[in-house]
Every structure is written in C-alpha cells, then in structure tokens.
Amino acid sequence: MWSQRAEEIVSRLIAGLPPAQLDPARTHSARLRALHIGGSMWADYYLRPNGAVVVVGEEYDQPDVGTVHTDRSNVLMALVWGARRYPELLELIPTRPTDAVDCFCRTSPIFAEGKLLCSECGALGWLPAEGTR
Ligand SMILES: [Zn+2]
C-alpha cells in the first residue's frame, strides 16, 4: 500500500519540521529520521518515509527502544492519527471501496470519540470486503 508519492510526502514533512521537533532532547525524529505522529501514555509513534511505523518505548521498561511495525493496521493508524497533525497525510489514507464492510468500532462509544484508535481496521472505520483482505 506504500507508494513513491507516500514516501515523498513523509520525506517532505520531515524536512519541514521546525528545529524544536528535531531536538534530540525532545523527540527521536532526528535519530530515527522519522515523523513524530504522537504519543500514548509512555510510547511515542513515528512514521518513516518508507512507510514503517517505529514505536519508541513500546515496552514500558525499555523507554528508548524502537519497535518497527509494517503491517497494514499499524501503518493505517499512524496515517489516520498523523493526519490530525499533518493534513498532507490525508491523501494517503485509502478511500473506502464500495464493497467494504463497517468495522465493529463504529458502534463503540470508546472509539467514536476518537481517543482510542481501533487496531482491527486501523482506525478507518471499515474493513475490506471478505476475500480482498
Ligand atoms: Zn475498527
């Protein structure tokens, strides 16, 4: 699902980051050469130009260790979440095919508020039709 265009957009966003965002004391962006997407209770989420998601501090007792995720769900979540901060990412979120099905999260109040991202659908709110997954 990652494209040349996607790589260009993420690279450009990283290149355009203000110095504070690249300060090693504040984020891991410079070290990882990745875009800071956001933070949870203790982990920080980054997106690399090649479409890999790096989660720093995923393990509570290893705050500086980065874990790389490249599966569809994690990449989609990074895009949906990141687009709130970097609207340029919006165009990388796949459009819903006509035969897609609603994800269960659409009926769940916890997910509806947008505070929690659904890992089943990658926060899209829909899943590809059975057979095309
Ligand atoms: Zn969902």
The verdict on 58 and 101 lying in the same domain is no
Whether residue 114 is predicted with pLDDT greater than 80 in this model: the reply is: no
The verdict on 81 and 99 lying in the same domain is no
pLDDT tens string 29-62: 999 999 999 998 889 999 999 999 999 999 888 8
Domain range enclosing 103 = 94-133
The verdict on 68 and 103 lying in the same domain is no
The verdict on 104 and 79 lying in the same domain is no
Distance 98 CA to ligand 1 centre (A): 17
The verdict on 88 and 114 lying in the same domain is no
The verdict on 49 and 69 lying in the same domain is yes
The verdict on 14 and 70 lying in the same domain is yes
Distance 24 CA to ligand 1 centre (A): 34
Q: What is the DSSP string of the chain?
A: ---HHHHHHHHHHHHT--HHHH-TTT-SHHHHT-EEEEE-SS-EEEE-TTS-EEEET-STT-TT-EEEE-SHHHHHHHHHHHTTT-GGGGGGSPPPPTT-EE-GGGG-HHHHTTSS--TTTTTSSEEPPTT--
Quote the pTM value. 0.90
The verdict on 98 and 117 lying in the same domain is yes
The verdict on 84 and 123 lying in the same domain is no
Distance 123 CA to ligand 1 centre (A): 5
pLDDT tens string 53-111: 999 999 888 888 999 999 999 999 999 999 999 999 999 999 999 999 999 999 998 88
Q: How confident is the model at residue 128 (pLDDT cuts 50, 70, 90)?
A: very high
Q: How many domains does the chain have?
A: 2
The verdict on 86 and 104 lying in the same domain is no
The verdict on 106 and 70 lying in the same domain is no
pLDDT-wise least confident of 23-27, 67-71, 127-131: 127-131
The verdict on 7 and 60 lying in the same domain is yes
Distance 43 CA to ligand 1 centre (A): 21
